[in-house]
Amino acid sequence: MTYLTDDPSDDIAFWSTSEQAAGIRSGMVGSLELMDHLIDRIEKINPELNAVITSDYERARAAASSADEVLARGENLGPLHGVPITVKDALETEGIISTGGATELATNVPNRDAPVVAAVKAAGAIVMAKTNLPRWSGDIQAYNDLFGTTVNPWDVERVPGGSSGGAAAAVAAGLTSFEIGTDIGGSSRFPASFNGIYGHKPSFGIVPSTGYLDHVDGGTTEADVNVIGPLARSAADLDLLLGILARSTPPWVAQLDPPAGDVRQLRVAAWLDDEFCPVDDQVLAVMEAAVGLLEADGVAVDRGARPDLDPAVASSLGAELVVQAIMQSTKSEGIGHRLWLDKHMEREALRARWAEFFTRFDVILMPVAFVPPFPHQQDGNFATRTLMCNGVERPYADVVRWTFLTGMAYLPSSVPPLGLTAGGLPVGLQVVGPYGSDRSTIALAGHIGSLTGGYRRPPLS
């Protein structure tokens, strides 16, 4: 087998999760052999990338050897048999320091796995390391006082997105075939777009979100708006992983619709720009080109259709709800339960308007961020930082306006890689559908990726 080449199709590190699992099952490669290859890559690439922060190689190598022995006996641990992976450090992982990016949890070693970690382990995956994030998953970058700064593998002077920035950078750079991201305001969608990989934000409640460390005593409850979903190098892997991660036991059971038959028959709307949050010209050009390819492939796209809501009002409400959901990490009192119920009622009215829109359309294509990956900014905070867009200085907080618009409504959103800006930076978009239509948004994201070229190997890999 050829491992290290300039062509990702020849290096098993860049194979999809499904392909790596198939390679192990067929005997083409051993689990331990693959793990040692990935560990070697981490040791060579990670000093500059800084995506992987805590390793558990000794236990992981033992588990990989065991997986090889099990396979030799003719047994199979599941669809991810023997596949080595990394896990975002916001998720409790048994026996491995899990910090949420906060100094308060610098020595925290959970005695249990978050349900999503347990699910991929039960399917045969082997956790070898953890990946970087901002403190309490609270930024569109990935840096903290414990582990420093993760860079973007496309341009080390720029952010990999956040909060699942280390996770997405590790997937993009071929250090792991998939990751488990979290997303309350775009924390999976930004990194997917900024690193040129696929990501999926599930419908709220479809995947269990306990075991998520967003404050000192976190992990025991599920926060409003927050979801957990896969990051990968193919849409097929997103679909596979969603099936593994989705709830299968009460009190909530997965309410996933079957995937669309022929994605070319989907009723597609495109909302690529808006005065409530104008989009950078280079980002817009990449999205427009992708929609053009979709239309040329026979998909009818309505570029003027919009849900019957004020996006500025809806996004602002989303911001309020997210702020309340993260109050425990900020040690603030919040607005009180009665006022939250009033905000929730406003949200439900907006969800009804989204639902009405989706009686006429199956999906809508929307921006992830109004800018491409931006230079590292660690001075100031969300309220004081700024970003440049088309020569205009804009508030840093504007970056979440498009993601809040859909996340607060509990909608599924799949992000495919669309290609690069004129400046060589990755761009994705959101494929958004009605609640429970996760498999259809993933399917269309996969089709878009097939038209745009899909995942590309970044320079730092």
pLDDT, tens only, 64-86: 999 999 999 999 999 999 999 99
Q: How far is CA 209 from the centre of its chain?
A: 14
Q: Give the pLDDT mean for 288-299.
A: 98
- Report the alpha-carbon angle 193-311-452, nearest 5: 25
Domains of the chain: 8-452 (3.90.1300.10)
Does 249 score more than 90 pLDDT?
Answer: no
The Cα 75–Cα 44 span in angstroms is: 34
* Mean pLDDT value of segment 289-294: 98
pLDDT at 7: 55
pLDDT digits (tens, 9 = 90+) for 389-426: 999 999 999 999 999 999 999 999 999 999 999 999 99
Residue type, 176: T
Three-state DSSP class for residue 123: coil
Instruction: Report the C-alpha gap between 228 and 425 in whole angstroms.
Output: 26
Q: How many CA atoms lie within 13 A of 104 on its CB side?
A: 12
Active site residue 98: no
Angle at 132 between CA 404 and CA 383, to 5 degrees: 40
In tens, the pLDDT along 71-130 reads 999 999 999 999 999 999 999 999 999 999 999 999 999 999 999 999 999 999 999 999
User: What's the Cα-to-Cα distance from 277 to each of 14, 363, 418, rounded to whole Å?
Assistant: 35, 20, 20
Strands (E), 233-284: 268-270
Instruction: Using CB atoms within 10 Å of the CB of residue 424, give its burial: 0 to 12 exposed, 13 to 18 middle, 19+ buried.
Output: exposed
Is pLDDT above 90 for 131?
yes
- Listing DSSP states for 129-176 in one string gives EEE---GGG-SSS-EETTTEE--BTTBTTB---SSTHHHHHHHHTTS-
Contact 389, 280 (CB under 8 A): yes
* Burial group, residue 5, by CB count within 10 angstroms (0-12, 13-18, 19+): exposed
Residue 420 is classified by DSSP as E
Q: Kindly report whether the peptide bond that precedes residue 137 is cis, defined as omega within 30 degrees of 0.
A: no
> What's the pLDDT at 1?
43
Q: Vertex 103, ends 98 and 105: CA angle to 5°?
A: 35
Tens of pLDDT, residues 303-348: 999 999 999 999 999 999 999 988 877 777 788 888 999 999 999 9
The most confident of the ranges 4-8, 334-338, 350-354 is 350-354
**Which of 16, 88, 130, 209 does the annotation list as catalytic?**
88
**Averaged pLDDT of the chain:** 95
Q: Give yes or no: 163 in active site.
A: yes
Q: Which residue among 16, 55, 187, 440 is the active-site one?
A: 187
pLDDT at 113: 98
Q: Report the alpha-carbon distance of residue 66 to residue 363 in Å, rounded.
A: 44
Q: In sequence order, what are the beta bridge partners of 427?
A: 419
In the residue annotation, 188 being an active-site residue is answered as no
In the structure, what pLDDT confidence band is assigned to residue 8 with cuts at 50, 70 and 90? low
Higher pLDDT among residues 291 and 256, named by residue: 291
Active-site residue among 163, 177, 203, 461? Answer: 163
Q: Which amino acid makes up residue 455?
A: Y
Tell me the β-bridge partners of 430.
Answer: 366
Phi, psi (rounded to 5 degrees) for 413:
-145, 120
pLDDT above 90: residue 297 = yes
User: Residue 332 burial by CB count (10 A; 0-12/13-18/19+): exposed, middle or buried?
Assistant: exposed
Give the pLDDT score at 2: 45
Helix, coil or strand: residue 444 = helix
Token pair listed for 330: 């900020």
pLDDT band at 6 (very low <50, low <70, confident <90, very high): very low
Query: Is the pLDDT assigned to residue 289 strictly greater than 70?
Result: yes
Q: pLDDT tier at 9 (50, 70, 90 boundaries)?
A: low
What's residue 253's pLDDT?
Answer: 64
